[in-house]
Structure 1
Amino acid sequence: MNHRKRKIGVAVTLLLIPAVIYSLFFIYPILYTFYLSTMKWNGIAQVDKVFVGLDNFIKLFSQKVFYKSLWNALVFIIVSLVVIFPISFSLAMMVSKKNKVNGALRTIYYIPTLLPMAATGMMWTFLLTKNGGAVNAILEFFGMAGQDWLGNTKMAIWVVALVNAWMFVGSNMLVFITGLTAIPGDMIEASIVDGASSFQRIIHIIIPNMKETFKIFLTSAIAGSIKVFDIIYVMTDGGPGTATDVPATLMYDQAFLYSKFGYGSSIGVVILMLALMITFGLNYVLDEKDEVRKIHKKRRGAV
């Protein structure tokens, strides 16, 4: 009996260790960020923190630049849904079958995802340079005018979002391939025997069987767009002016450039809350729709 209790105690201890480590490296920083968001502090340890309550949040929601940053995050969401989704899904459909050619193509399409974010940002910054950039050189070769891709306040955010899309098309292609390979082969074969066209198979078999995969894509794409930072920091640093600022770059600037760690932390809290609200809200809505469809199907079956 004592030996059994000892075994259970060891098992519980082994389970608790990862939980404690997780709490130290994940939960504690989040709680500390919430704490700092209610303080006025310049980041110097010797300087006392001053409690200001919700003042940082009130100030944040009164700033036009914050709402501009939310719009820029929305641009990333739009590009994710309009560019990444259809291209990644189409590529997945084309290379989902296992053979040497498709294996090579998958690797090629995935290469942009493997590149370091800083290297990708620098590479595209050089390619998009107004004077001497490869993109403008190609346009001028065909008789078209070159553009100031990253210097135009209206265009820059869309350009950076497209570069971000270029990086993540390959990784999302693999996500969709995983969903496609999970579809039972006999369903596809039966539809072919029944004379269903490729379009009909996509609409009536593939898409319904990939709902969970699409849910994963939507959740990660939207939450990721809210938190985006790296590519903007490397390519434009929020410029020209504040034209490409997103919540994460605002947070970085306030904390590390202006030493307003309390105010910067309040932006971090808003980013976290937005990401959580979108993630849970989207999953709830999609799950509810699935339940409604199931109920309607049962009612039709009963009739």
Structure 2
Amino acid sequence: MAKGLVWLAAGLLCLAAAAFGAEKKVFLLESYHSDYQWDHDYRAALFEKLSPRCELAVYTLDSKRLPREQVLVRADEARKRIAAFQPDLVIVGDDAALQLVGSKLAESGMPVIYLGINNNPRNYFQSTPSNLSGVLERPLILRNIFELGHIVPGLKRALAMFDSDLTSRIIRDETFIGRDSIRLGDIDVDIAQPATFAEWQQRIQQAPQRYQAIWVGLYFTLRDDSGKVVPSDEVMRWTAANSKLPMFAFWNFAVGKGKTIGGRVLTGREQGLEAARMAKAVLFENRNLSSLFPVTPSEGEYLFSRSELSRAGLTLSPPVARKAHWVE
């Protein structure tokens, strides 16, 4: 799939060579950064399905690592690059890109497809344009905890760990109804959203005093004492090494040896595949975006790490084990 593609550093344009005789031009604006696995996975799916018929350009807002004011500068730069590229279609990945750029483009008449959107897209518009549709992301948080919680003996309280980024705040508002706790069957689930790595570490270390299991959500915007974002792999390594409780995940990037046991997870690839399907319908089948309803593609994938499951001394139930995929 990568033949003929020119991949540049994060934040630069990434073009599929026009020498293949591309029929259409597509601009992809990512909320995050190129080495973030979620972005990597949906971007790879888009290139796989759209090139070489489409010439693709990519730009990133880097919103998980940069301060808000710098993200706004990059949003302005994105609009300039899109105008210069003159695409037939723009695809925006995740809420920040839709909120800061995609909403304005759609209102100006540009066809826009979104993916990875946790919020209600209508919240980013006064009136939703007809040239807009896309792929919603709905993490299977409650289902994940409900289905996997029974393998943890004596589970009565679970902790869901998130950072304080936009996506995490939306999840708290949507899934936890704006509260810090929710009752799920006979399990009390609390959500924590520390802004700093030190706060994250404290919550992990204190968790055994109150909880019997941890579900790891997002951890990409935690900052150190100097205000610098701590690399996500460093956060996960520390968390896996220091947690005294079994840890599960909501997304595939947090599953594996030295990470979490796993869970019923979402992947970026499925988001990219659905967005590519919609893009092809618009670009090559003359479908109007107004006729394409937003989709929520996933029932989740049961993805687990054998080493972490063994380390926790847990066993999957037969129904889950039959459906499980393993990273190792």
Structure with a larger share of its residues in helix: 1
Superposed pair shares fold, TM > 0.5: no
TM-score, normalization by structure 1: 0.26
Structure with a larger share of its residues in strand: 2
Q: Which has the higher contact order (CA 8 A, sep 6+)?
A: 1
Structure number with larger C-alpha Rg: 1
